[in-house]
Amino acid sequence: MEERLYIKPILSGKADKRPLIIAGPCSAESEEQVIATALELAGEGRTDIFRAGVWKPRTRPGSFEGAGEDALPWIANAALKTGIPAAIEIAAPKHAEIALKHNINIFWLGARTVVNPFLVQDLADALKGNDVAVMVKNPVNPDLNLWIGAIERLHDAGIHRLAAIHRGFSHFESAPLRNKPLWEIPISLKRQFKNLPVFTDPSHICGNRSMLQDIAQKALDLEMDGLMVETHCNPDAALTDAAQQVNPQALSALLNSLTIRSAYAEQSFEHLVAPLRAIIDEKDQELLNVLSSRFSAVEAIGKLKD
């Protein structure tokens, strides 16, 4: 069943490119790091939106929580210098208000924010009446309606430059990926809202560099509309998410390695079968993970008996 959302391109004035590329560091760390990363990305010529995290949602206290308000002029300046529009994460109405004062008007809502309808509503109210674009990440838990609900709250506040970002779902068991893709969820979102762009964030799905290519290719094979890839001028020295960030040159190499197919015909075999293949591959991996956790528990009992 298709529902209706009135959607305008994320970048005002023209239809969004496919795939749209969003790149930039997990966190804005210093003016030098923000400007150097943005200039290198501009030099590579692949980035449509420059991302940088300003207030970082850290799982436990005691580590870098973002540069905060100080980072806003750095990011605004990077956008001016490169001509690439900038996007930041907002997680509180105050974030939205001060970002707008710095002429930043593309935002994303993070996975930990989207789980909370009260907060999403407060953010929608804070943005109401402003010409902004908002990209809504999936909630950390695999709840499609919670994700849709957040998009609808923004839509009902008159925000029509909207997109979704698929960043995977958290899990407890040990697995090669940081967050489970659960591809059936973004596929189902695309089916319900045919005109809503859905981007994939392979960085937060993978948690490491080695699997980025695989996940990015799968996203394109499933006709996702863009990619958000965390990119840092010196990834190993990054203050957050160092293991998953790439440098701007590696981003270009990654993008060059991807096969970008033109959209499949609606009823073609590939259009129908690619989502099913993705689900089967993921279930196979889950089976292996479950068997390996079971094996570890059995082995631990064996050791206790020794």
Examine residue 91 and tell whether it contacts Mn ion (CB under 5 A): no
Residues 147-176 that bind ligand PEP (CB under 6 A): 167
- Cβ distance 89 to 55 under 8 Å? yes
- In the list 241, 248, 251, 254, the residue contacting Mn ion (rule: CB under 5 A) is 241
Structure tokens at 53: 């995290």
Q: Which helix (H) or strand (E) holds 229?
A: strand 226-230
Buried b (16+ CB within 10 A) or exposed e, 133-157: bbbbbbbbebebebbbbbbbbbbeb
In angstroms, what is the minimal distance from the CB of 90 to ligand PEP? Answer: 11
Examine residue 137 and tell whether it contacts ligand PEP (CB under 6 A): yes
- In the list 95, 166, 190, 204, the residue contacting ligand PEP (rule: CB under 6 A) is 204
- Cβ distance 32 to 20 under 8 Å? no
Structure tokens at 281: 């591959």
Select from 14-22, 24-32, 259-267, 285-293 the region that touches Mn ion (CB under 5 A).
Answer: 24-32
Structure tokens at 264: 């499949």
Structure tokens at 198: 């859905």
Examine residue 222 and tell whether it contacts ligand PEP (CB under 6 A): no
* DSSP 8-state code for residue 178: S
Closer residue to ligand PEP, CB minimum distance, 153 or 167:
167
Select from 106-114, 154-162, 182-190, 215-223 the region that touches ligand PEP (CB under 6 A).
Answer: 106-114
- In the list 20, 21, 50, 53, the residue contacting ligand PEP (rule: CB under 6 A) is 53
Closest CA to 20 of 65, 85, 72, 70: 85
Residue ranges in contact with ligand PEP by CB under 6 A: 26, 53, 57, 110-112, 137, 167, 204
